[in-house]
Structure 1
Amino acid sequence: MPDTTSRWRLLQAAAAASIAMALAACAPDSVRNIEAKGFNAYLDSLKTACPNMVIGNNNISQWLADNGNSGDDDYVYWLDQTSRLYYKRISPAQYRTSVSGALGAGKRDAGAIDCIIRHLPADRPTSPPGGKLL
């Protein structure tokens, strides 16, 4: 029978795996849906429209430069909220509150969030192609 330390480590590993699966299941349609060309183009436009974006300790510009190759929970949350904003599921005010509340709040953050909101396409859709937004 494993000792207490080993059982604790197994429990931690199981909890981490469960959290990772839950986050993957909650990933925005932009992550799961390769047809989300409009949203992906919007994210690409932010690379030049909003250089040097930082929210809290998170370098959004670096995430975008890496094309989302980050397993960071903050990245997943930011992408989910940005997807919801893009698809008109949340308002710009709700986006500002949720992102700054979760990732950081400060003058520098406000500039990044302002830029993200300012560059939203006016004619964006209300749902991703071929899928529903969670």
Structure 2
Amino acid sequence: MPFAIKPLRLAAAAVSAAMLAACAPDSVRNLEARGFNAYLDSLQAACPDMVVGSSNISDWLRTSGSRDDDNYVYWLDQTSRLYYRRISPAQYRDSVSAALGGKSDARALDCIVRNLPADRPTHPPGGKLL
């Protein structure tokens, strides 16, 4: 009888993993986000030494961040939302500043917003999972 429990645990683990992947930001779960990834790459040159609060965004961009860092995941998700026009630049500034730092970090956020491509899409392509 104890062996009957194993398949149930495996099924529960699989469902949990699928649900977590669905909650990941588009930028993390989308393999075809070439435009967004190119935008992030362009920020390294356009906005060197970006820091918001105690979070060094430039380091995140150089090292591809860490999925274990809640601040990185939050910043990446909000930046993806900004890029795909799901939130306005004002909403982006407010949300990132509130979560990562203060108003004194406006220079980094202004650079991120200023370098947005004018012809960016309104939704991520494909939707493929990692």
Q: After the TM superposition, which parts of structure 1 deviate over 3 Å for at least 4 consecutive aligned residues?
A: 21-25
Q: State the aligned residue count.
A: 113
C-alpha contact (below 8 Å) 1:63/1:70 kept by paired residues = no
TM-score, normalization: structure 1? 0.77
**Cα deviation code 1:31-63 (max 9, x no counterpart):** 111100000000000001000000010000000
Corresponding residue to 1:27 among 24, 28, 34? 24
Structure 1 distance, partners of 2:106, 2:21, is 28
| Displacement after TM superposition at 1:30 (Å) | 1.2
How much identity, in percent, do the aligned residues show? 74
Three-state SS of the structure 1 residue aligned to 2:116 is coil
Structure 2 distance, partners of 1:30, 1:89, is 13
Aligned to 1:15: none
Corresponding residue to 1:83 among 80, 84, 93? 80
> Quick one: structure 1 residues 33 and 39, their matched pair in 2 at CA, closer, same or farther if it must change by over 3 Å?
same
| Displacement after TM superposition at 1:106 (Å) | 3.1
**Cα deviation code 1:62-105 (max 9, x no counterpart):** 00000234520000000000000000000000000000011111
| Displacement after TM superposition at 1:22 (Å) | 7.4
Matched, 1:62 2:59: yes
| Displacement after TM superposition at 1:26 (Å) | 2.4
Aligned to 2:117: 121
Which residues of 2 match residues 27-46 of structure 1 at below 5 A? 27-46=24-43
Aligned to 1:72: 69
Q: Report the RMSD for the aligned CA atoms in angstroms.
A: 2.1
Three-state SS of the structure 2 residue aligned to 1:121 is coil
TM-score, normalization: structure 2? 0.80
Structure 1: tracts of 5 or more residues without a match: 1-17
Aligned to 1:7: none
